Amino acid sequence: MTWTLLRGVLSGCIMYGVPLLYATLGEVIGQRAGMVNLGLEGILLVGASVGFAVTVETGNAALGVVVAMVAGGLFNLLYAFLAVTRRANQLASGLALMFFGIGLSALVGKAYIGKRIVGLARYQIPGIAHQSWASKTLFSYDVLVYLAVPIALLVWWVLFRTRWGLSLRAVGESPTAAFAAGRRVSLLRYQAQFLNGMLSGLAGAHLSLALAMTWTEGMTGGRGFIAVALVIFSRWHPLRAIAGALLFGGAVTLQLQLQAQGTDVSPFLLNMMPYVLTLGVLVIWGGVRRFTAPGALGRVYYGED
């Protein structure tokens, strides 16, 4: 029974952690440019609904993922327009985007409530998945799971090993200094938010096309806000985000496994477990290296004004 529970937690830890990792990576890019986006929840829902709708209509889950990424990127340009071009408050702009995304996703997904799809195909790891100690699910995942760590490594490389990443981080630290050095602050921030939207749309598509394989309103369950918290947990570093996503994914899976086994604990307390864990981690790690946050994070840049 213990090994069965452990296998279920390990498998669910990966599956539930992957969409959270994609959203966290996107927000890391966005915050490295000095912008806090509280609208991730809305972007996740738009990606989930659009990806599911396209998959139902075409029967092609891969196309659904691609369209969800594009939809997420374009949708987040609205936030970039408000916060960069119109110089609106970033927190207020993000919240407005979130509520808009919730309503838009409900409208897009209205005709698809309750429908089921095959979803993204799963591929077993050769030589391991058929071992007696393993299970069919422990080493069998869809392609987005296998791509999660390589994409995290790619984000790290782009941010810390390329000229574009250096420029983006300079904008996040001091947009005035970056502008004086010849960097196009507005363009870099638009690019960062488009990438943020694409990765968050990908996260939403993974939820609807690989985990739930159906559409229900509000299916993200607050993951957008958890992703924002995990950016702080990871201290704005893409590789540390992997650990944070797996930790939260494991907490979600553990409470589901305990409920499935009929544990004599209130299901409401179990549902709180992932979020209590996240708060606990932030309390413990919140004061460590407090100055690792980008210097201009959340501040409105007025350019030459």
Q: For the domain that residue 236 is a member of, what is the CATH number?
A: 1.10.3470
The mean pLDDT of 114-140, rounded to a whole number, is 70
Whether residue 137 is contained in a domain is answered as: no
* pLDDT higher than 50, residue 1: no
* pLDDT higher than 80, residue 28: yes
Whether residue 298 is contained in a domain is answered as: no
- Confidence class of residue 97 from pLDDT cuts 50, 70 and 90? very high
- Confidence class of residue 257 from pLDDT cuts 50, 70 and 90? low
pLDDT at 221: 85
Average pLDDT for the chain: 86
> Cα separations (Å) of 305 from 66, 79, 90, 297?
39, 21, 18, 19
pLDDT at 247: 84
Total number of domains constituting the chain:
1
* pLDDT higher than 70, residue 126: no
Asked whether 189 and 81 are in contact (CB, 8 A), the reply is no
pLDDT at 194: 98
Q: How many residues does the chain have?
A: 305
Whether residue 122 is contained in a domain is answered as: no
What tokens appear for 100 in the block?
């808009």
Number of Cβ atoms within 10 Å of the Cβ of 181: 11
Residue 46 sits in which domain range?
A: 8-112+142-292
pLDDT at 265: 64
Phi (first) and psi of residue 119, to 5 degrees: 85, -170
pLDDT at 150: 96
Whether residue 130 is contained in a domain is answered as: no
Q: What does the alpha-carbon distance between residue 20 and residue 236 come to, in Å, rounded to a whole number?
A: 15
Which residues 6+ apart lie within 8 Å of 68 measured at CB?
46, 47, 48, 50, 51, 54, 201, 202, 204, 205
pLDDT digits (tens, 9 = 90+) for 56-94: 999 999 999 999 999 999 999 999 999 999 999 999 999
* pLDDT higher than 60, residue 291: no
The mean pLDDT of 211-233, rounded to a whole number, is 89
The mean pLDDT of 278-291, rounded to a whole number, is 63
Give percent of the chain above pLDDT 70.
Answer: 82
Whether residue 133 is contained in a domain is answered as: no
- Confidence class of residue 3 from pLDDT cuts 50, 70 and 90? low
Whether residue 305 is contained in a domain is answered as: no
Q: What does the alpha-carbon distance between residue 214 and residue 208 come to, in Å, rounded to a whole number?
A: 6
Asked whether 45 and 197 are in contact (CB, 8 A), the reply is no
Asked whether 184 and 88 are in contact (CB, 8 A), the reply is no
Whether residue 180 is contained in a domain is answered as: yes
- Confidence class of residue 10 from pLDDT cuts 50, 70 and 90? confident
First to last CA, the chain: 66
pLDDT digits (tens, 9 = 90+) for 154-208: 999 999 999 999 999 999 999 999 999 999 999 999 999 999 999 999 999 999 9
Q: What does the alpha-carbon distance between residue 220 and residue 49 come to, in Å, rounded to a whole number?
A: 11
- Confidence class of residue 146 from pLDDT cuts 50, 70 and 90? very high
| Amino acid of residue 226 | I
Q: What is the pTM of this model?
A: 0.91
Q: What does the alpha-carbon distance between residue 174 and residue 299 come to, in Å, rounded to a whole number?
A: 10
**253: Cα separation from own chain's centroid:** 17
Asked whether 192 and 28 are in contact (CB, 8 A), the reply is no
3-state secondary structure 246-290: HHHHHHHHHHHHHHHCCCCCCHHHHHHHHHHHHHHHHHHHCCCCH
Q: Which residue reads 């709180």 in tokens?
A: 272
Q: What is the DSSP letter of 296?
A: T
Whether residue 135 is contained in a domain is answered as: no
Q: Where is mean pLDDT largest: 64-68, 134-138, 236-240, 275-279?
A: 64-68
pLDDT at 95: 95
Nearest of 189, 217, 201, 215 to residue 303 by alpha carbon: 189
* pLDDT higher than 60, residue 137: no
Nearest of 21, 18, 11 to residue 140 by alpha carbon: 11
The mean pLDDT of 286-303, rounded to a whole number, is 74
